[in-house]
Homo-oligomer: A and B are copies of this chain.
């Protein structure tokens, strides 16, 4: 039976991380700035707590933990809408690198010294992960990749190009930051004009590396969405207990209470589904199905929770000052990341033999 609970180790990791984020994470302070990533916070997490190398085996310089632990990290980072590139660097690029067997790059990543990002658009569904838009001539790369996540502070970019996956150094890439819907995870457009690249994998190996990386991203993004939804639920519950209208806390009205009960039920389900995806990734069984299910289910739950949060806060939830909008934008953006829910449902249709109409 697949374990869907949290282990003691995972719960400890959660407590430690939550405390760290409580003290050091202020997502609202990072928006509308050029330096969208909180580099100080990322250094604490990546290097001091070892989260950059969480998925990296110990003999390669990492923590030797697995997707289940990484999922807990995603939950907490989602709860905090933390402006740090864990998902893109530690999960997605990390998975790609491990798949290519690149000890130096892996070690740099794991040590929190040299952040790496995969140059694939953030909206790419796992099934279409291999669609290079960059061409190769010799070892020179030319082309562009739009709306990439967690690439703003990467020292090395992993670029699918031609038939291979290439490593490109900072110096070879031009970055343009996007005005993102989710300013706590700023996207950027990358372009390469004859940038020197080093071939990491070729043909089927390159494809497998990229595909497994995006699949891991999709599977663990679900846990981040659980964290987002949970913050929205908790914060709203707190608000409606203390907000009085008509001489009563508004949480005593059924319209409010029942909507929050529905959100709680949805979050409860999303947690089970996200844990299942993390377990599937850990055991490498049913990963495609579990990831598609997780994205199909958790994307709308996070959106629903964030929308309920804004609505039940009333006017204050519509302000720039209140944090609710950061979560709404994160939830909406995450719902598109690694493919929208309907695309994941269509993928499930293939996997469980529920074909489209003739």
> A258 at the A/B interface (Cβ < 8 Å)?
yes
> A320 at the A/B interface (Cβ < 8 Å)?
no
Q: What does DSSP make chain A's interface, helix, strand, loop or mixed?
A: helix
B residues less than 8 Å from A258 (CB atoms): 254-255
Cα(A253)–Cα(B252), bound, Å: 11
Cα(A27)–Cα(B255), bound, Å: 37
B residues less than 8 Å from A255 (CB atoms): 254-255, 258
CB of A76 to closest CB in B, whole Å: 34
Q: Which residue of B is nearest A356, CB measured?
A: B357
**Range for the number of chain A residues in contact with chain B:** under 10
Query: Which residues of A in the span 244-266 have a Cβ within 8 Å of any Cβ on B?
Result: 253-255, 258
Query: Which residues of A in the span 24-82 have a Cβ within 8 Å of any Cβ on B?
Result: none
B residues less than 8 Å from A254 (CB atoms): 253-255, 258
CB of A255 to closest CB in B, whole Å: 5
Q: Which residue of B is nearest A258, CB measured?
A: B255
Q: Which residue of B is nearest A256, CB measured?
A: B254
Cα(A65)–Cα(B219), bound, Å: 63
CB of A85 to closest CB in B, whole Å: 34
Cα(A179)–Cα(B144), bound, Å: 64
CB of A313 to closest CB in B, whole Å: 18
Cα(A174)–Cα(B40), bound, Å: 85
B residues less than 8 Å from A253 (CB atoms): 254
CB of A342 to closest CB in B, whole Å: 10
CB of A84 to closest CB in B, whole Å: 37
Cα(A253)–Cα(B255), bound, Å: 9
CB of A188 to closest CB in B, whole Å: 30
0 or 1 for each of A289-319: is its CB under 8 Å from B? (1 = yes): 0000000000000000000000000000000
0 or 1 for each of A123-159: is its CB under 8 Å from B? (1 = yes): 0000000000000000000000000000000000000
CB of A47 to closest CB in B, whole Å: 47
Cα(A232)–Cα(B58), bound, Å: 66
Cα(A255)–Cα(B261), bound, Å: 12
CB of A267 to closest CB in B, whole Å: 20
Cα(A258)–Cα(B253), bound, Å: 12
CB of A253 to closest CB in B, whole Å: 6
0 or 1 for each of A217-261: is its CB under 8 Å from B? (1 = yes): 000000000000000000000000000000000000111001000
Cα(A253)–Cα(B254), bound, Å: 7
Q: Which residue of B is nearest A253, CB measured?
A: B254
Closest 6 CB pairs between A and B? A254-B254, A254-B255, A255-B258, A253-B254, A255-B255, A254-B258
